[in-house]
């Protein structure tokens, strides 16, 4: 029986889709059968980040409406056999996400996967609420910046009151913080909220800190989830976050200054 | 750096300012997050009733739900200090009370800004 994970944030542009792609691919790398679903109806982008935009034939809304079968719409990743992408519609609007339809599709996916990763749209409207409604776990993607932290707090409140688990008085959604676009340099200069600051304000368990990294844009340019880039610090940080999600203890990296070796400094590589 | 901080003590780092601002705004928002849906309607009704007797602006009447220990409080604060009393109807509201009335489910705990009238 699959576990449903939602990546959500309230605020747009904080790295939800990048993180959904990375976490889903990271789970697949750990041998978990994983599907990642794009809930951002009308603003489809997960397909581009995953590099399968030219293979989309049917989408989430087609399956909800019964116009296509699930196995016609699921796209198998070419890099990892455990990973599937479920694209959304680019032409419909978010009202096409009917809750009963979404539930039926999720139930069918549950039998075939270990993890269902839901990439939420920004905002707190219908699309975002539908994405988080069925979640067992939530990963709150947050930037160390005031508007993102405030919106994260709001979305944590919504998870606690409007999710299926809340409405049915079940065990609450288990929430995790993923702090992205973190710049240790700027934190040291006192120009950016530190991981401790954000932790103190939001007080939910920290899943990982992803350093701001040029490799993330390079990965999205080529349609490769960042965890497939072994060289990338951000990719390694996501791999660590996935391990923590699976219950492993891993020390937080990229949070305290690393000593740069003489040769690395010479080569100018962080 | 330390010397600079010493010489220009008013220059606080911006991350510290961000943290303080967030703490304040979130404390406020979290308190109203759990508020029941009827509060705005209740506030409007109360304004209508009080407004029959004194001229009162919307921001002079505040309705909150809070907690004091194990007791849930419905807290209604009406500020009528300086408000103009309307002509008495049917003998009601003849004299203007100087300060505030506070109606609450729990009479024990008074908000600090409310002076008992």
User: Residues B61-65: what's their mean pLDDT?
Assistant: 84
CB burial of residue B32 (10 Å; 0-12, 13-18, 19+): exposed
- Find, among A133, A103, A119, A149, the residue nearest to A8 by Cα: A119
Per-residue pLDDT at A175: 98
Question: Given CB atoms, is A201 within the 8 Å cutoff of chain B?
Answer: yes
Q: Are A214 and A269 in contact (CB under 8 A)?
A: no
Per-residue pLDDT at B98: 47
Q: Is the pTM above the cut of 0.90?
A: no
Residues 15 through 44 of chain B touching chain A, CB cutoff 8 Å: 15-16, 18-19, 21-23, 25-26, 29-30, 33
Residues A96-119: pLDDT tens digits? 999 999 999 999 999 999 999 999
**Chain A residues with beta carbon closer than 8 angstroms to that of B33:** 157
User: Residues A261-266: what's their mean pLDDT?
Assistant: 62
Gap from B26 CA to chain A (nearest CA, Å): 7
Q: Is the pLDDT of residue A263 over 90?
A: no
For A27-69, list the strands marked E by DSSP: 34-38
**Chain B residues with beta carbon closer than 8 angstroms to that of A179:** none
Instruction: Please tell me the distance from the alpha carbon of residue B113 to that of residue A211, in angstroms, as a whole number.
Output: 46
- Sequence-distant (6+) residues with CB within 8 A of B96 are B54, B80, B83, B85
The DSSP code for B18 is H
Residues A68-84: pLDDT tens digits? 999 999 999 999 999 99
Per-residue pLDDT at A50: 98
Region class of B83: left (phi > 0), else alpha (psi between -120 and 50), else beta: beta
From A57-61, A260-264, B17-21, B83-87, the region with the lowest mean pLDDT:
A260-264
């Amino acid at each position: 029986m699959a576990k449903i994970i939602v990546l959500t944030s309230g605020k747009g542009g904080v790295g939800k889709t990048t993180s959904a792609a990375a976490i889903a691919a990271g789970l697949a790398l750990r041998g978990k059968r994983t599907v990642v679903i794009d809930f951002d109806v009308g603003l489809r982008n997960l397909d581009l980040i995953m590099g399968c935009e030219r293979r989309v034939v049917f989408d989430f809304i087609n399956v909800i409406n019964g116009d296509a079968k699930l196995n016609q719409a699921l796209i198998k990743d070419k890099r990892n056999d455990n990973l599937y992408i479920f694209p959304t519609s680019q032409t419909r609007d978010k009202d096409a996400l009917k809750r009963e339809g979404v539930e039926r599709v999720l139930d069918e996916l549950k039998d075939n996967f270990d993890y269902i990763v839901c990439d939420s749209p920004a905002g707190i409207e219908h699309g975002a609420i539908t994405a988080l409604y069925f979640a067992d776990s939530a990963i709150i993607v947050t930037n160390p910046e005031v508007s993102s932290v405030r919106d994260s707090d709001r979305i944590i409140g919504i998870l606690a009151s409007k999710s299926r688990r809340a409405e049915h008085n079940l065990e609450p959604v288990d929430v995790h913080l993923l702090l992205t676009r973190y710049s240790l340099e700027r934190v040291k200069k006192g120009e950016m909220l530190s991981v401790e600051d954000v932790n103190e304000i939001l007080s939910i368990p920290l899943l990982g800190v992803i350093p701001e990294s040029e490799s993330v844009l390079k990965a999205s340019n080529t349609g490769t989830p960042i965890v497939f880039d072994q060289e990338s610090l951000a990719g390694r940080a996501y791999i660590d976050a996935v391990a923590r999600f699976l219950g492993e203890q891993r020390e937080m990296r990229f949070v305290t200054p690393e000593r740069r070796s003489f040769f690395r400094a010479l080569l100018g590589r962080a | 750096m330390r010397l600079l901080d010493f010489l220009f003590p008013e220059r606080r780092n911006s991350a510290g300012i961000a943290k303080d601002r967030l703490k304040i705004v979130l404390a406020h928002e979290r308190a109203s997050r759990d508020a029941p849906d009827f509060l705005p309607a209740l506030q409007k009704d109360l304004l209508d009733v009080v407004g029959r007797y004194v001229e009162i602006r919307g921001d002079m009447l505040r309705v909150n739900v809070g907690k004091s220990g194990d007791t849930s409080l419905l807290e209604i604060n009406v500020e009528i200090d300086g408000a103009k009393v309307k002509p008495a109807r049917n003998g009601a509201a003849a004299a203007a009370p100087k300060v505030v009335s506070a109606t609450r489910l729990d009479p024990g705990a008074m908000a600090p800004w409310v002076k008992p009238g």
